[in-house]
Structure 1
Amino acid sequence: MASRSRFHFPLTRRRVPAACALLCVALAAQAQTADTAPTTTLPTVSVRAQGSLPASDIAGFGDVPVARLPIAVTSVGQAELKDRGSNDLRDLTRLDASVSDAYNSVGYWSQLTVRGYVIDLRSNLRRDGLPISGETVLMLDNKSRVELLKGISGMQSGVSAPGGLVNLVVKRPDADVRAASLELRGAGNVMGTVDWSTRFGNERSFGLRVNATAERLDPELHDARGRRHLLAVAGDWRISPDTLLEAELETTHQSQPSQPGFSLLGDRVPSAKSIDPRLNLNNQPWSLPVVWDADTASLRWQQRLAGEWRAQAQFVTQRLKDDDRVAFPFGCSAEGNFDRYCSDGSFDFYDYRSENERRRNDAWDLNLAGRLATAALNHQLRFGVQGLRYEARFQKQAFNFVNEPGRIDGSAVTTPQPLADDDSTNRDERRTEFYANDAIQLGAGVGLWLGVRHTRLERQSVTTSGTEPTDYDDSFTTPWIAASWQLSEPLMAYASWGQGVESDVAPNRPGVYGNAGQPLPAAKSRQSEIGLKFEQQDLRWALAAFDIRRPVYGDLGECADADPSDCRRGLDGAARHRGIEASAEKRFGAWTLAGSAMWLRARREDSVNASLNDTRPTNVPARSARVLVGHELRALPGLNLFAALSAESDRTLIPGNDALTVPSWARWDIGAIYTQRLQGGQRLVWRAGVDNLADRRAWQESPYQFGHVYLYPMAARTWRLALQADL
């Protein structure tokens, strides 16, 4: 960022960005005298147009490159995550226009919306292709890339929300690595990491990779200091040229107070400019941090068979423990509104504590994949069986009204009410899925892609007091079909259709629902998609149009009087999302341009509540865009500059009310990456950046959560500086 000193930063901490600029000037001057060979490679800043994207683990078609798949897939590599200062899964919202926030609170687990649908934390997340729980903090320090499959995922997951799947790909000991880094962020956030990998033994048949991270969390948000650490070990044994055994273990810990949202003030949307984004309403003397502990391990065996066939067996297990605690603002009893704050800026405060939550997630997969020729057709087949066991065990929780009201200026001091006497719900799930995929080459560049998955599901739940039990099982089949046509070597057209499914049970409350505790009809989503993909050495673009219809569960009948003879839980119409996605990456000499955009028309339809029909979903922008411009300074080899724009249109706040919205927003981030090559092959990589350059004040998202409107402000301007040493 050698030339960034001309920017003016009207901050209290003006010396910080100025120091970043001066440091980059010094680095650029040093580059003129360092033993640095000129480079003509693309900048590492969000630019992937150099060669083909790798095959996707989550797509289900083996080694087929992403550019040849009739599926919308985004893959974000480790270098790109580092260049953009991304340490959290929620940072995908800055990298892809189809992804937006869904109740993303500092100190809490990440929640994402894809194509307008909130992904399910228990069904839409994968680790090396196997299902995991996202009900914890998922750290990226030992991940080589993050994959996002957009749209209906019934072929890859028997039960899941229709937005898409997120897959975390673990780093493996594929090469010798000796890397360490130190990052400073904001006022006092400090992170150190080590990445070490080696191969040893006869013919280097054994591999070992260790990743370690320790971070002092001190964001710009007040009253949110904490800490986190990660230790991960991955090893493999290449038993023979045809046999590979892999194992890995990861343990993580994070302790940090979380961030409640702001809200409507009576019937008024407060101006984001009047709110300090650094203010944390969870600032009571009795506020405690949310603590996340997670242990994850996996084992994978791969065997090459005769011809081009391969067998694989894989297992992953998670052990999660957390203490979920917050001084929680919720509603305004003084004005009889329980979905917003009071018009004078006060609100009801609750002492929420759920200690010693424990979750266990075990998943396994056995599959056989290979190629088969029949007459004039070539098949790429994959079929197998996958299993999942999930259980969640809780203690009684506290959700107690605090007598004194809170205030949005953070000035209130209240009395804790920690008695834990409220029931939680323990849950169990067993799932077995049989699946088969076939990619058929018909000749003349035409392909037919088929997939089907049959799922058997068992679910049970009961309160911690042993009351309100539910127990049900179900089975369903989700097919998928696509056709592709290679119009030319770089250009492919495709069309696809598929189904996904979600399953639920009516709450076991006999005094409220006439069908309490009974299984509900499976909610089968459908998606149609057509698209174009183009890829050459210096240009890549994609265009897709999609139409997704997802059934919605709701209360049917006269439920206001709590008479079970008049109220039932069931399917109540659907949410239909139709949209167009576009993405492109292009190099113009020393310049690179990358970006994505999405236009979305999301509406409710066929609800028994006529006021909901043809209205927008809450917290979903109709238009969004991400643009990145990178420049490689050829006069100073190794120095790359970039500027990134994120923009989203307005969001609605309350179901059935399109008139009440938060305004659209746009923000700029800037950064610089300087690669300094040393004698002996070592290198130093310096990274500097400023997020939210103009210190924009805006409501970044407006989740309607727990029947309540919340508003989350855009984070204040934050600087970062990192040094990575590759030895």
Structure 2
Amino acid sequence: MKMLYRTFTQAESAPRFTRSLLGVGMLLASSMPVAYAAKTELPATAVTAGDNGAYQADNAWVGGFEAAPLLDTPAAISVFTDALIEDQQARLLSDVLKNDASVGESYAPVGYYENFVVRGFSLNSASSYKINGRTITGEQNVGLENKQQVELLKGLSGLQSGVSEPGGVVNYVTKRAADVRSVTVSTDDRGSGYLATDVGGWFGSEQQFGLRANFAHEDLHSYVEHANGQRDFASVAFDWNISPDALLQLDVEYQNKEQRSVPGYQLLGGAELPHHASPKKLLAHQSGSKPVTIDSLNINGNFEYRFTDNWKGNLSASRSKVVIDDYSSFAWGCYGSDSCASTAVPNYFSPEGNYDIYDFQSPDDTRRNDEVQAALSGQFDTGGIGHELTVGTSAFRRVVDQRELVNEMIGSGNIDSEPEDFTRYDGPVQDSYRRLDSRQYGVFFNDRISFNDQWQTVLGGREVRLDERTFDAQGDTTRHTQRYEFLPQVALLYKPVQNMTLYTRYSKGLSLGGTAPWYATNSSEILAPTVSRQIEAGIKYDWRRISLSATLFQIRQDYQYACPDATPGEFTFVQQGEQKNTGLELAANGRATERLQIAASVAAIRSRVTGSGTAEYEGHQTINVPTLRASLYGDYALPWVDGLALLGGVQYSGKKYASQQGNVQADAYAIFNIGSRYSTRIEGYDTVFRLSVDNLFDKRYWRDVGEYMGDNYVFQGAPLTARLSASINF
């Protein structure tokens, strides 16, 4: 197991690792016996789309404690199937979530892990991401090669997750054992290389054992100069039908990624977007800078036992560990520019486009999440009223081990020119210490009560006990938070006809407090958790082979920000005031006709801050949240060429503010994408060719103008990108 944590530092290590992966993959592909469906009936099965190649999904895990029909789940859930992921040749979560109009990026640099905003609230790396329902560390770019589908629960998830952000939660569902042997190769217009294998089958005397293995290697030729990298991925999923009533499932996945992190731009003089900025330019480039290396290991297991036809128990556990060696030449602020000399904290580029260059070093930055959950679920009647009850308990722990950060200013540059190489920091790096130890314990229940065929109510809640400590480099406790909170969730459902559901829901959530930026008077302080509340109403309608939905929501949460102090240039990070987001979401997924399937969504969001004590932050839309966003993707099977389909779509974003004061605004934009898919047989093997061209008209736009760790950054979107792949099924 220790080998999984190894970081490849020598030039020959990655190719040797890649050859090993490919060798194992091809060996498995050639030696795997012809498999067939297991004779033992599985008590639980993986979630799959309604038919092969469909964009429409019928079920999701993220809305509760087990797979449930989307039509009967009183929550707004988006499901992105493996068919959609493959057709769009997605590699990153941002490639997947672009299909939901309620999602935006919030500090997602090329070469680093991604962060997102859902319904106008940022997701949290500590608690907003899951694999098979168990929480993982979000400071990683999760590999998609072994994922059956990606699920997004929008809004509060306190019942399901305990302490979590009000924006929502992302759940990755892994592929299970199946008779599959395939190889995929891919390249793009910049010469990147990608090779992946997917092999699996059932074996044993009664075909009771199942295996699924995925391996991938990717040579990344970034559209940003000097930012090439590489990625290696390996995963194994194991299924054991111990008996007709008992099932054991295990998943292990490991990924190593190395790539230079690309800094974002900042506002010129704090009041203007940069002019003539290029998405291909690497700011603060230093020829001797190291790439950011992220090693991630995710392990989870699930045991399920069916006591009777109506009752079953479930025990699951997981560990997620990420080690980040973060070395960056970072562009920030303008202390080195004369025009910024009068500002105490010039956390922006100068009006002339000057910026300071920092040597940032944070090696061995380790994040670990451990979680265990036990649940009992069953069905019964009381006085003619049906119950579907789940009760359980869970324990979760997150630890963060870090060294004192090195962030030394080494020189200055300008956005219009290549900076010179400066002498790097060569001083000592301090020992690692425990920065955070957060423990969460909970008991929960959820009861779906059916009064008749039309009316249902869902009553649930989780009692959370949070015990969280933060420490300084000397090991002294800087904060100790102990808190008990009951997080209720109540929903009412009405089904006028079998394929239509109307619902309303109330939820309460508890979120981790924010971290004060370095320039605040309470620098690096992690604030206490905050409470959020949500009301939501929606309608879902399955018409033929397409799912339609409309959702109204309102979310309230305490506002956290760097509040200007009485002394000019000084700030204190506080929880003061409230952010209220109100919105309407529309979505359609599935087959509009026999030959046309679509994935479409629209989101209109009004986001406001009140009671903050800083008038400039109020009375306008909050930073990085457009009032309107839309996404459309289509797949049309041509009638005159068997196996050929045209693909394409558009993403639209309205204007959005790039500052908390609302004095800088990024323009609206629309990005058009096209592609094709051709399915055929070559030498008796099923083969699929895919071509995708994103940003067809090479549009320049600001995809992300948000805030991160107290500072504002703006990132341009990717230029025109073409990718070609071929998948062969043996």
Q: Does the aligned pair in 2 maintain the 1:223–1:282 contact within 8 Å?
A: no
Q: Does the aligned pair in 2 maintain the 1:262–1:408 contact within 8 Å?
A: no
Letter in 1 for 2:504: A
Is the alpha carbon distance of 1:505 and 1:164 closer, same or farther for their aligned partners in structure 2, counting shifts above 3 Å? closer
**1:415 positional shift:** 2.7
Aligned residue in 2 for 1:456: 465
Q: Does the aligned pair in 2 maintain the 1:398–1:418 contact within 8 Å?
A: no
> Which one of the candidate residues 207, 212, 236 is aligned to 1:209?
212
- CA distance in structure 1 between the partners assigned to 2:503 and 2:230 by the alignment: 47
Letter in 2 for 1:578: T
**1:291 positional shift:** 0.2
Letter in 2 for 1:662: A
Correspondence list, 1:176-215, <5 A: 176-215=179-218
Aligned residue in 1 for 2:629: 624
Aligned residue in 1 for 2:409: 401
Give a deviation string over 1:35-78, Cα, whole Å, max 9, x none: xxxxxx99988x534xxx23211111534311221111111111
Q: Does the aligned pair in 2 maintain the 1:61–1:439 contact within 8 Å?
A: no
**Range 646-655 or range 260-269, more displaced:** 260-269
Is the alpha carbon distance of 1:641 and 1:312 closer, same or farther for their aligned partners in structure 2, counting shifts above 3 Å? same
> Which one of the candidate residues 111, 116, 120 is aligned to 1:116?
120
Aligned residue in 1 for 2:286: 284
Q: Does the aligned pair in 2 maintain the 1:651–1:701 contact within 8 Å?
A: no
Q: Does the aligned pair in 1 maintain the 2:202–2:211 contact within 8 Å?
A: yes
Give a deviation string over 1:663-697, Cα, whole Å, max 9, x none: 111110111111113575x3101101111100001
Letter in 1 for 2:703: Q
**1:517 positional shift:** 7.6
Is the alpha carbon distance of 1:222 and 1:570 closer, same or farther for their aligned partners in structure 2, counting shifts above 3 Å? closer
Aligned residue in 1 for 2:364: 356
- CA distance in structure 2 between the partners assigned to 1:249 and 1:183 by the alignment: 25
> Which one of the candidate residues 646, 649, 657 is aligned to 2:654?
649
Question: What's the secondary structure of 2:451's corresponding residue?
Answer: strand
| Runs of 4+ in structure 1 over 6 Å off | 41-45, 422-425, 505-509, 515-519
**1:594 positional shift:** 3.5
Aligned residue in 2 for 1:532: 539
**1:539 positional shift:** 2.8
- CA distance in structure 2 between the partners assigned to 1:314 and 1:589 by the alignment: 40
**1:561 positional shift:** 7.7
Aligned residue in 2 for 1:31: none
Correspondence list, 1:33-182, <5 A: 48-49=55-56, 53-60=57-64, 62-173=66-177, 175-182=178-185
Letter in 1 for 2:547: R
Give a deviation string over 1:181-210, Cα, whole Å, max 9, x none: 001023121110000001011221011111
Letter in 2 for 1:496: R
| Cα RMSD after superposing both structures | 2.6
Correspondence list, 1:625-640, <5 A: 625-640=630-645
Aligned residue in 1 for 2:530: 523
Aligned residue in 1 for 2:559: 552
Letter in 1 for 2:722: W
Q: Does the aligned pair in 2 maintain the 1:103–1:701 contact within 8 Å?
A: yes
Aligned residue in 1 for 2:260: 257
Is the alpha carbon distance of 1:44 and 1:668 closer, same or farther for their aligned partners in structure 2, counting shifts above 3 Å? farther
Aligned residue in 2 for 1:302: 304
- CA distance in structure 2 between the partners assigned to 1:43 and 1:197 by the alignment: 20
Question: What's the secondary structure of 2:592's corresponding residue?
Answer: strand
Aligned residue in 1 for 2:42: none
> Which one of the candidate residues 487, 502, 508 is aligned to 1:478?
487
> Which one of the candidate residues 657, 661, 664 is aligned to 1:660?
664
Is the alpha carbon distance of 1:183 and 1:368 closer, same or farther for their aligned partners in structure 2, counting shifts above 3 Å? same
- CA distance in structure 1 between the partners assigned to 2:79 and 2:439 by the alignment: 30
Letter in 1 for 2:286: Q
Aligned residue in 2 for 1:224: 227
Question: What's the secondary structure of 1:90's corresponding residue?
Answer: helix
Identity of aligned residues (%): 27
Correspondence list, 1:576-595, <5 A: 576-585=580-589, 586-595=591-600
- CA distance in structure 2 between the partners assigned to 1:413 and 1:448 by the alignment: 65
Letter in 1 for 2:437: D
Is the alpha carbon distance of 1:178 and 1:394 closer, same or farther for their aligned partners in structure 2, counting shifts above 3 Å? same
**Range 413-422 or range 535-544, more displaced:** 413-422
Letter in 1 for 2:357: F
Question: What's the secondary structure of 2:280's corresponding residue?
Answer: coil
Aligned residue in 2 for 1:543: 550
Aligned residue in 2 for 1:381: 389
Q: Does the aligned pair in 1 maintain the 2:515–2:709 contact within 8 Å?
A: no
- CA distance in structure 1 between the partners assigned to 2:142 and 2:679 by the alignment: 29
Q: Does the aligned pair in 2 maintain the 1:512–1:562 contact within 8 Å?
A: no
Q: Does the aligned pair in 2 maintain the 1:555–1:572 contact within 8 Å?
A: no
Give a deviation string over 1:113-149, Cα, whole Å, max 9, x none: 1111110110111111011110122211111111100
Question: What's the secondary structure of 1:658's corresponding residue?
Answer: coil
Q: Does the aligned pair in 1 maintain the 2:595–2:636 contact within 8 Å?
A: yes
**1:557 positional shift:** 9.2
**1:711 positional shift:** 1.5
**1:370 positional shift:** 1.3
- CA distance in structure 2 between the partners assigned to 1:254 and 1:63 by the alignment: 32
Give a deviation string over 1:416-472, Cα, whole Å, max 9, x none: 224356898711111111111111111141110111011111111112243562222
- CA distance in structure 2 between the partners assigned to 1:469 and 1:344 by the alignment: 41
Q: Does the aligned pair in 1 maintain the 2:553–2:583 contact within 8 Å?
A: yes
Is the alpha carbon distance of 1:142 and 1:695 closer, same or farther for their aligned partners in structure 2, counting shifts above 3 Å? same
Is the alpha carbon distance of 1:696 and 1:252 closer, same or farther for their aligned partners in structure 2, counting shifts above 3 Å? same
Correspondence list, 1:232-247, <5 A: 232-247=235-250
Q: Does the aligned pair in 1 maintain the 2:602–2:630 contact within 8 Å?
A: yes
Q: Does the aligned pair in 2 maintain the 1:400–1:418 contact within 8 Å?
A: no
Give a deviation string over 1:328-370, Cα, whole Å, max 9, x none: 1111122335221112221111110101112222111100111
- Length-normalised TM-score, structure 2: 0.87
Question: What's the secondary structure of 1:204's corresponding residue?
Answer: coil
Is the alpha carbon distance of 1:43 and 1:339 closer, same or farther for their aligned partners in structure 2, counting shifts above 3 Å? farther
Aligned residue in 2 for 1:683: 686
Q: Does the aligned pair in 2 maintain the 1:396–1:420 contact within 8 Å?
A: no
- CA distance in structure 1 between the partners assigned to 2:356 and 2:428 by the alignment: 19
- CA distance in structure 2 between the partners assigned to 1:704 and 1:283 by the alignment: 23
Aligned residue in 1 for 2:269: 266
Q: Does the aligned pair in 2 maintain the 1:389–1:431 contact within 8 Å?
A: yes
Q: Does the aligned pair in 1 maintain the 2:284–2:413 contact within 8 Å?
A: no
**1:222 positional shift:** 1.1
**1:556 positional shift:** 7.2
Question: What's the secondary structure of 2:664's corresponding residue?
Answer: strand
Q: Does the aligned pair in 2 maintain the 1:339–1:707 contact within 8 Å?
A: no
Is the alpha carbon distance of 1:425 and 1:327 closer, same or farther for their aligned partners in structure 2, counting shifts above 3 Å? farther
Aligned residue in 2 for 1:496: 505
| Unmatched segments (≥5 aa) in structure 1 | 1-40
| Unmatched segments (≥5 aa) in structure 2 | 1-48
Aligned length: 673
**1:164 positional shift:** 0.4
Aligned residue in 2 for 1:30: none
Is the alpha carbon distance of 1:264 and 1:699 closer, same or farther for their aligned partners in structure 2, counting shifts above 3 Å? same
- CA distance in structure 2 between the partners assigned to 1:557 and 1:668 by the alignment: 41
Question: What's the secondary structure of 2:84's corresponding residue?
Answer: helix
**1:171 positional shift:** 1.6
Give a deviation string over 1:389-433, Cα, whole Å, max 9, x none: 111111232100113445443344333224356898711111111
Give a deviation string over 1:480-530, Cα, whole Å, max 9, x none: 111111121222111111111124499799x956x998974x521111111
Letter in 2 for 1:266: G
- CA distance in structure 1 between the partners assigned to 2:536 and 2:370 by the alignment: 33
Q: Does the aligned pair in 2 maintain the 1:472–1:519 contact within 8 Å?
A: no
Is the alpha carbon distance of 1:184 and 1:453 closer, same or farther for their aligned partners in structure 2, counting shifts above 3 Å? same
Is the alpha carbon distance of 1:218 and 1:268 closer, same or farther for their aligned partners in structure 2, counting shifts above 3 Å? same
Letter in 2 for 1:198: G
Aligned residue in 2 for 1:3: none
Q: Does the aligned pair in 1 maintain the 2:516–2:710 contact within 8 Å?
A: no
Is the alpha carbon distance of 1:182 and 1:720 closer, same or farther for their aligned partners in structure 2, counting shifts above 3 Å? same
